[in-house]
Amino acid sequence: MSADDQVASLTTHDRSARSGGIAFTTTHWSVVLEAQGHSPTAQEALEKLCRTYWRPVYGFIRRQGARQEEAEDLTQGFFSLLLERRDFDAVRKEKGRLRSYLLTSLKHFLASERRRATAAKRGKGQRLIPLEELSASGQREIEPTDSLTAERLYERRWALTLMEQVLRRLKDEYCTAGNARLFDSLKWLLPDEPGAPSRAQIASQLGMTDNALRQAFHRFRQRYQLLLREEISHTVAFASDVEDELRHLIRVLRT
């Protein structure tokens, strides 16, 4: 499935998809920034963000030339320092966006590590961020294999991670409602899904009419749009930035 085509298909500006609203005051990044301290709620929110978005950080470090084990340690070290210091004075300079803040902070962190000419031992052995995906098949998927610059790779990994998170949430909702089979079938209707059966075949398999299937996918798409904007809201400080961040991520996937 083409990531940019999937985004283009599922992020069409649909008023009904956004009408549900976003409880922005409780989003992860806004909670962290508003607390500016070590409250349990803010700490939990920051840890959740770190667990979700470590892949772009790891990819950036690998593209900078670090070996796998060194990159894992540096990734852990970076997030360990972030969780320890929680110094967000630079957030305003990055327009309050977690994506930009992490990349700027990561560059400073790596420059500091190079100046000391030592690997980041701070996070070694603590495994604050679960990197189990880096083993076996997960390792092949996360390792950089293209010719993108470190910054472009970071941006693309960020967008893909966010999309994966949205699809995971959507799948959980369908499974909880006892509609796991419907979710798996509707996914075939996403653009460029390789080996996808025809709409008629899917409808037949589900025992649905073509019109019923079309309506089911419309609801699927609307819910995806809402969850996507909600997930983006978790990474920006202001609700007004959600649409701009969405447009940025679409540009990243299309270039």
pLDDT by residue for the chain (255 residues), tens only, comes to 455 555 555 565 554 444 445 555 567 887 787 766 667 888 888 888 888 889 999 999 999 989 988 898 899 888 888 888 766 766 666 668 889 989 998 998 898 887 775 544 555 555 555 655 544 434 445 565 667 899 999 999 999 999 999 999 999 999 999 999 999 999 988 876 667 788 899 999 999 999 999 999 999 999 999 999 999 999 998 888 999 999 999 999 887
What integer pLDDT is reported at residue 7 of this predicted model? 59
What H or E segment, with its residue span, contains residue 8?
helix 3-10
Helices (H), the chain: 3-10, 15-18, 28-35, 40-52, 54-63, 68-85, 98-116, 136-142, 150-176, 180-187, 199-206, 210-233, 242-254
97: which strand partners?
Answer: 236
Structure tokens at 214: 């079309």
What integer pLDDT is reported at residue 197 of this predicted model? 86
What integer pLDDT is reported at residue 36 of this predicted model? 60
CA-to-CA distance for 71 and 77, rounded, in angstroms? Answer: 10
CA-to-CA distance for 153 and 239, rounded, in angstroms? Answer: 26
CA-to-CA distance for 40 and 11, rounded, in angstroms? Answer: 34
What integer pLDDT is reported at residue 17 of this predicted model? 45
CA-to-CA distance for 56 and 69, rounded, in angstroms? Answer: 16
What integer pLDDT is reported at residue 159 of this predicted model? 94
